[in-house]
Chains A and B, each alone.
Chain A
Amino acid sequence: MTTLEDGTGVCSKGPGNRERSSLRLQQAFITQNEADSSVTVWQSHLICLNFFKTSSQARRRPCFSLNRKIELYEMGWNLKDGLRECLVAAAPYGGPISLLKGHNRRSPSARPQLEIYSSSGLPLASFPWKSGVVKQLGWTVSDDLLCVQEDGTVLVYDLLGGFKRHFSMGNEVSQSQVLETKIFHSPYGTGVAILTGALRFTLATNIDDIKLRRLPEVPGLQGAPSCWAVLTQDRQSKVLVANGSHLFILDNTACTPVTPPGLSPQASSIVHMCVSFSYKYLALLTDSGHVWMGTSNLKEKLSEVDTKIKTPPKQMAWCRRPKSQQPSAVVMWDGLLIVVGECKETIQYHLDDDSILVPELDGVRIISGTHHELLQEVPGACEEIFKIASMAPGALLLEAHKEYEKESQKADEYLREIKEQSLLSEAVRQCVEAAGHEHEPETQKTLLRAASFGKCFLSNFPPEQFVSMCRDLRVLNAVRDYTVGIPLTHTQFKQMTVQVLIDRLVYRKLYPLAIEICRYLKTPEYQGVSRVLKHWACYKVQQKEESDEVIAKAVSVKLADAAGIFYSEIATKAYESGRTELAIKLLEFEPRSGEQVPLLLKMKKSPLALSKAIESGDTDLVYTVVMYLKNELNRGDFFMMLRNQPVALSLYKQFCKHQEQDTLKDLFNQDDDHEELGNLYVKASYKEQRLEARIALLQSAVDEYYKAKNEFSAKTTEDEMRLLRFQRKLEEEKGELLVGFSLHDTMTTLLSVGLHKHAEQLYKDFRVPDKRFWWLKLKSLAEKEDWEELEKFGKSKKSPIGYLPFVEVCIKHHNKYEAKKYVSKVTPEQKVKAHLAVGDMEGAAEAAIERRNESEISTVLSRCSATTDHLLMERLNRAKATAVKK
């Protein structure tokens, strides 16, 4: 049973224990009917009406569901006048309560006081209200307080009274003033709906992403409608308005009149309406005192009950747990609370004090000046177990366990009874489930012990449900504690999820508890502990009284080994609260330099940002900084900064190459990089079509090259300019396409069309090496097969390229005859090749033998064919032998 002791904690229930006395009264009432011992555990207020009308009806489904009222807290606050004349708003899911006392007072001397309390009435914040007249208070899903003012301005405060922001509900609202306001929750967030003085509705579905919608006019509306409510249907927020006995649905486009099916005809006006927590059901209260209950799409009527009270109520709310079969709503008048259900009768409670109703997912909380209670339908499992004379397996198991504790053999009898019906696992399940719905740790323990006892007799029972219930209860008991004051039910907890609960604790700055819960539930670190720590750190850095060093150290020590912490977020917070130095210190802890950059930029620490970006190796980040700096700094400073960061500079150059050619020029200019400037001009010249512009660009390049002391490039470029002019002249004169050719190509073209003179001129003017010229001329003459000219050329002077090329070129053009003319002129080293080229085997052999070169002899040998050159081969072989010997 040790798990149990660990599994549930003990929670305190506020000062005093007044509850006990009233409890006894109720119990007396029950025990009158049935004296079953099991009821003694049933400590909560159990109200049963129409329970068993007659014994014959015992098995019939009761037409009224069981309701129970549990006291959650005795309120810790000390309110002089209770809730009278207060504007009150309490957040669902056991959220905080805000009070605005004397909100109607308009004199500046007596400012109303805004107070925020936890659900247990512990003060969280309190401050005098200095802004305009507040029409309505409300809470958002993330525990922020909304104060809607008369002029349509909505002020947002956090749970501890810190002002966050404000927004307006539009001009139209501020002109015609706010008449009534409703704050509602939907899957899209928290919304605000306003009825203006001009009797028009304005609505924003999500206050974090405000899109104001003005709904169509309601026909025939003279004064304020008798009542209205906001519905969420078909992924749209709509307003349901009652004007007298007429009912309208307003959506974005139209105002549609509707009639609730089966509404009793004696009613002349609908005075109150309420929508269930899930927006599925609707309850209407008419001036004849009838409560109509049905689905919110007005297609189905569930029931209609006469309350017999004709005065308008203060509040009305649904009190219904999910999946319940029974409709049930709560109507509150001064001092009276009536629960209406499916049958004609109602349950009535007397209220001592002014109270408000807070609808919840699975019930209604009733908050008065002194008490905080939960009214809910008794959960199925609890009913099964604690119902008087219940024979449900769970009830039997509980009984069996009790007998077992007493060491009575009856335990066995009960167990046997369950096992005979093979319902033991069902019994365990019931006990576990019921434990979840109980608020008193003792009851929880009793039920869980019984479940555990039953489990012993089961072999393959999956333990998950039991274990997770123990965990959940421990968490729930911890947060229900008077000092924390979040009275969540198990159903609400499951709906809300642990994540949200952690968030709520964080909003309340209950960091240690949040961390404990994360650890206890083994939430993955980055979702749990780390997240809490981050919030803690964000809060910590806003503490103005401590020095930067102390805070930075405290943060780093606490967060050191937590995974998934983004120091940048914390630093951002520090910066936002005006502590730049601290922010920079914190950023030092950030291991990902990429994360540091955006904030550094925001803080105008651009040089640091740039070097961090480069450090990260992420070029995108570098670009981000560079682009930012480009817009932020003047050009000179910008370039200077780039100059110190070569990586950034080269990236920016890349960008400029495509986007801003001129900037590139400036960049080089700034750097006195004349070489690159020259290159840039040369490059540009190639994109230029017109010759004049091209030459001009080249001239600029020449200038730059001179500045760069690159004589070579300057000279070459000048040559190019000369060449271009020459080409143009020739083009004009001879009509040959030349412009843009390289020197070599120009000469080739000239030679091929027979402009030898001009080619020679180039040869001289541009100091073309002899070799090149000879090659050129040789090729072009051979191509034209101008053998005569070639011969003349060959004889003009000694060939700088030798005569082997002559031979080869002739052979290439299949002129063996011409080729042979040059063989004799070839140098001794190339003789063999030349002879071979013209196919003169003997000549080749001769030359090779003469030179006594082994490899040459082999080459010739390999070319000889055995049949025709038999003699030659012999000679060669002999020569080879001697050559080798040598």
Chain B
Amino acid sequence: MAHTEWRDAPELPDFSLLKRLARDQLIFLLEQLPGKKDLFIDADLMSPLDRIANVTILKQHEVDKLYKVELKPIVSSSDQLCFLIRPRIQTVKWISDLVNADKVAGRFRRYKIIFTPQKFYACETVLEEQGVYGDVTTDEWNFYILPLDDDILSLELPEFFRDNFLEGDQRWVTTAGSALHLLQSVYGSFSKVYGIGRCAKMVYESWRELMEEGEQRTRQPEFAKVFLVDRDVDFVTPLCSQVVYEGLVDDLFRIKCGSVEFGPDVTSSDKSIKVMLNSQDKVFSEIRNEHFSNVFGFLSQKAKNLQTAYDKRRGMDIQQMKAFVSDELKGLKQEHRLLSLHIGASESMMKKKTKQDFQELLKTEHSLLEGFEIRECITYIEEHINRQVSMIDSLRLLCLLSITENGLLSKDYRSLKAQYLQSYGIKHLLTFANLRQLGLLEEQQAGETLTVMESKVGKLVNDKTVGKLTDAFSSLAKKSNFRALSKRLALVPKSGEEYDLRVPRDMAYVFSGAYIPLSCKLIEQVLERDGWTGLEEVTRMLNGQEFAVTGAPNPRNKTDAQRIVLVMFLGGCTFSEISALRFLGKERDTYYVKQIEYMVNIKLSI
């Protein structure tokens, strides 16, 4: 496998440091409330917390019982309650109600709220409005980054996308800025920062402010460059079905916080098993980036190897046997267990994905990307909706259609929308409203009127201003310009050519050779050119907002650190993109560390 042959990989920074920092701070905060206490944890903080500090550590610091925040009345006999929550108004309100209920009941308790990663003024306002501000103490746990794997960091903020792109709430921007600042203070400053998108720019600004306030540390940097990219720069990629193993696992079983729960059909027993998916898992690390069609072959080869390894013990003498049992057997057993799990998972994928439906789905996606046979695609989508095949997949296809075609024709839009509502209920009116807000699913109408206006205005003024106007209009209309972009950046390889998925030629392999993820292509191009020069047209089509800033000059020659690039997806990224970047890293002899807001698997409903 190509992955293992790549021996020259630069040493990655030690991310466990981040975990340790977070843990120490948490312990410090818990110690601030001495004595036995019950701890309430936000549901989505459970798994991240588990990776930072397990139950034993919590117990050591006098945490008596652990509860999940369920926004329901609580049963707790403890006199001290500690809440570890995300700064959400809803949760804070729930806590206020609790406190008030206790007051009515004449019960005296001590309350402490630990907000992570930071507290928001709005939360304090709620406490104040509910009249409990004086009764609770609040604190911040600056737990920004969770290292999920050797090369993946996550902010674990599932709300980021929704808040920032849909609601226009930019409160997480500072969080992202602080996270970058943290990385910089731990791992040294970056020599170059690139970015594209409004949010990326804001994150950079907030980060820069932090840099200016704090003192600069000169330290051998462990990252060379940072690339910030907004999710809304490239909506296409997350809308496509994933066909890389890791992506498929995510699609089918949901990878949460670096671990996945395999159901009974995978484990072939009646229990579900939770498995950590990272590079520690030998089997997984070899197949995670592979196209699904290769995985099965690989697994069977692996099984054979394993068998041979087991078979070795035949004809061993006692001494050899002893060595075998002590040295190898455990590893083999472990590998065996993992292998059977992954085989189980692949089987269950096969069952679901090799069906006719999936093939057709992929075919439709590919034609949408290429812009062929749009009518057929629409018919397919219609059927898809009518048959209630999958609520999410239908939406995904609709969005993909809208983006690649720059919006749907009014007639199609209405009919498809009506069909969808008939299938899944009127509540999805709101879903559609949200999608339109995001520019994911639109009627063409708006764009057309603008073009008309554009041409009218264009007649009145000279050519130079027309360009500017067009820019303004195109950003107004939020046109996706996918077709033009795809041509410009050669995102869709020429059809008709055989694409050998076993020996990937370019990043397109993550989508069966049909499409190179736009985000990754952009990163590749910018890093190659060391800036945005020559990409003006592209950035114009992406509504601009690109930047490239040279940071601290790096005196050293090409060290390992020079080859490490941090890519930050604001609003989440998919496993396909990660795989593509890993591939790119191998090709270009650089290494990418990804930092993401959250793994998205496009899911937007009310």
Contacts and interface: CB of A to CB of B under 8 A. Distances in A.
Contact of B93 (A650, A658, A743, A779): A658
A682 B430 contact: yes
Contacts of A686: 427
A10 interface: no
Interface stretch (B122-130, B148-156, B578-586): B122-130
B386 A654 contact: no
B169 A650 contact: yes
A471 B212 CA distance: 33
Interface in A349-383: none
Given A627-B125, A653-B167, A769-B419, A717 B429 contact: yes
Contacts of B352: none
A679 B433 contact: yes
Given A716-B426, A768-B422, A659 B89 contact: yes
A775 B419 CA distance: 13
Interface in B87-145: 89-90, 93, 120-122, 125-126, 129
Contact of A717 (B121, B424, B426): B426
B17 interface: no
A743 B388 CA distance: 12
Contacts of B419: 769, 772
B414 interface: yes
Given A716-B418, A772-B386, A650 B424 contact: no
Contacts of B9: none
Given A682-B427, A744-B423, A768-B422, A620 B171 contact: yes
Contacts of B122: 620, 623, 651, 654-655
Interface string B166-197: 01111101100000000000000000000000
Nearest to A768: B422
B209 interface: yes
A717 B433 CA distance: 14
Contact of B429 (A619, A713, A769): A713
Interface string A725-767: 0000000000000001111110000000000000000000010
A134 to B, nearest CB: 40
B426 A592 contact: no
B386 to A, nearest CB: 4
29 contacts: A591-B212, A592-B213, A618-B174, A618-B206, A620-B120, A621-B121, A647-B168, A647-B170, A654-B122, A654-B167, A659-B89, A675-B433, A682-B429, A686-B427, A712-B417, A716-B418, A716-B426, A717-B429, A742-B421, A742-B422, A744-B388, A744-B422, A744-B423, A769-B386, A769-B419, A771-B383, A772-B386, A772-B419, A801-B383
A617 B173 contact: yes
Given A655-B122, A712-B417, A617 B202 contact: yes
Contacts of A679: 429-430, 433
A827 to B, nearest CB: 14
Contacts of B442: none
Contact of B422 (A591, A617, A654, A772): A772
Interface string A146-183: 00000000000000000000000000000000000000
A655 B422 contact: no
Contacts of A742: 421-426
B205 interface: yes
Given A658-B90, A716-B418, A771-B383, A619 B426 contact: no
Contact of A646 (B168, B205, B383): B168
A755 B171 CA distance: 53
A766 B423 CA distance: 12
A485 to B, nearest CB: 38
Given A654-B167, A658-B126, 11 more contacts: A592-B209, A617-B170, A617-B173, A617-B202, A619-B171, A620-B122, A651-B122, A682-B429, A683-B427, A720-B426, A744-B422
B171 A651 contact: yes
Contacts of B429: 679, 682, 713, 716-717
Given A655-B122, A741-B425, A617 B206 contact: yes
Contacts of B163: 654
A627 to B, nearest CB: 5
Contacts of A619: 120-121, 169-171, 173-174
A624 interface: yes
A716 B129 CA distance: 39
A624 B425 CA distance: 40
A682 B129 contact: no
Interface in B530-575: none
Interface in A571-594: 591-592
A719 B120 CA distance: 42
A717 B429 CA distance: 9
A213 to B, nearest CB: 24
Contacts of B89: 654-655, 658-659
B251 to A, nearest CB: 23
Interface in B435-455: none
A815 B66 CA distance: 54
Contacts of A683: 427, 430, 606
A279 to B, nearest CB: 32
A828 B386 CA distance: 24
Contacts of B170: 617, 619, 647
B604 to A, nearest CB: 15
A621 B174 CA distance: 12
B382 interface: yes
Nearest to B383: A771
B213 to A, nearest CB: 8
Contact of A682 (B125, B386, B426): B426
Nearest to A748: B388
Given A617-B202, A766-B422, A772-B422, A650 B90 contact: no
B386 A659 contact: no
Contacts of A647: 168, 170
Q: Indicate the member of B122, B173, B209 with the most A CB atoms within 10 Å.
A: B122
B387 A775 contact: yes
Contacts of A744: 388, 422-424
A659 B424 contact: no
A541 to B, nearest CB: 25
A745 B418 CA distance: 15
Contact of A623 (B121, B414, B417, B425): B121
Nearest to B118: A620
Interface string B205-224: 11001001100000000000
A775 B90 CA distance: 43
A653 B430 CA distance: 16
A262 to B, nearest CB: 46
Interface string B467-489: 00000000000000000000000
A869 B343 CA distance: 32
Contacts of B388: 744
Nearest to B413: A712
A215 to B, nearest CB: 30
Contacts of B424: 742, 744
Contacts of A591: 212
Q: A712, A719, A720: which has the most chain B beta carbons within 10 Å?
A: A712
A768 B382 CA distance: 13
A617 B174 contact: yes
Interface string B374-385: 000000001100
A801 B121 CA distance: 57
Most chain B Cβ neighbours within 10 Å, of A591, A655, A675: A655
Contacts of B168: 646-647, 650
Contacts of B426: 682, 716-717, 719-720, 742
A745 B425 CA distance: 9
Interface string A638-667: 000000001100110111001100000000
Interface in B69-95: 89-90, 93
Contacts of A719: 426
A105 to B, nearest CB: 50
Nearest to B415: A769
Contacts of A771: 382-383, 386
